[in-house]
Structure formats: structure tokens, C-alpha cells
């Protein structure tokens, strides 16, 4: 259970960090800024790794989260890094991470510190 809590906390924390990194950033700037890309890609890699650390029971109980897609993205970032589509990353970051944060934040135990957006 504690491992699930830690992984869940990390998913939400690093997803929020991606949104902070991309606040007021245009797609063109993201595509041109290698440092920003690296920061976002690393956070997303951690999100994927943390999702794989969640127990099968936890992931089974939270079926509305695309765990397999999150894990697959992690695999691409780690192993097929030369095939990363930055426009797709942009879409995932701004289109899917906010919903992931909203879905998982309430599941973080009350005794865990919560970060603001």
C-alpha cells in the first residue's frame, strides 16, 4: 500500500511539474527549446515509471486511467527516444495530464503532503 501511495504521489507531482514548465509556452517555443523538451520528457518518463510501480490491484481498481498507454510512453522515452514525437508529447502534456491530475489527486492519502498547482 505505501508503495502505491508513493508512486501515486510521484505521478501527480511530476504531472503538475510538466504543467508548470509549459505554462505560457507556445508549441513553437517548446519545439525550439531543447532544455524545455528535456525537462518535460524527463518528468513524463518518471510518470511512466511511477505508474509501473503501482500494484496490479491498484491499477485494476482504477480502470479509467490508461495505465498501459502511460507505461508504453515511458518505454518509448527510455528505449525508443529517437522516435519521440514532440507534438504528441505536447498534446499529451496539455490535453491529458490535467485530467490525470484531477483523477488521481483525490486518491493521495491525507497524511501525504499535497502540492498546489
pLDDT tens column, 15-68: 999 999 999 999 999 999 999 999 999 999 999 999 999 999 999 999 999 999
77 CA to centre of own chain? 12
- Which uninterrupted H or E stretch holds 32? helix 27-32
Catalytic residue among 16, 29, 53, 79: 79
The CA distance from 69 to 43, in Å, is: 16
Record the cell numbers describing residue 41, joined without a space: 520528457
Model confidence at 117: pLDDT above 80: no
Model confidence at 112: pLDDT above 90: no
3-state secondary structure of 103: helix
Residue 74 among the catalytic residues? yes
Q: What is the mean pLDDT of the chain?
A: 93
Catalytic residue among 29, 53, 59, 74: 74
DSSP 29: H
Record the cell numbers describing residue 94, joined without a space: 496539455
pTM of the model: 0.89
Amino acid at each position: 500500500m505505501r508503495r502505491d501511495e508513493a508512486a501515486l504521489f510521484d505521478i501527480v507531482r511530476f504531472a503538475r511539474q510538466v504543467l508548470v514548465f509549459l505554462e505560457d509556452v507556445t508549441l513553437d517555443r517548446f519545439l525550439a527549446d531543447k532544455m524545455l523538451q528535456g525537462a518535460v520528457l524527463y518528468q513524463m518518463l518518471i510518470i511512466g515509471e511511477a505508474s509501473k510501480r503501482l500494484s496490479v490491484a491498484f491499477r485494476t481498481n482504477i480502470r479509467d486511467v490508461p495505465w498501459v498507454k502511460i507505461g508504453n510512453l515511458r518505454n518509448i522515452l527510455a528505449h525508443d527516444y529517437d522516435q519521440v514525437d514532440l507534438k504528441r508529447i505536447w498534446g499529451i502534456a496539455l490535453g491529458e495530464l490535467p485530467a490525470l491530475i484531477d483523477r488521481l489527486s483525490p486518491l493521495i492519502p491525507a497524511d501525504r503532503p499535497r502540492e498546489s498547482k
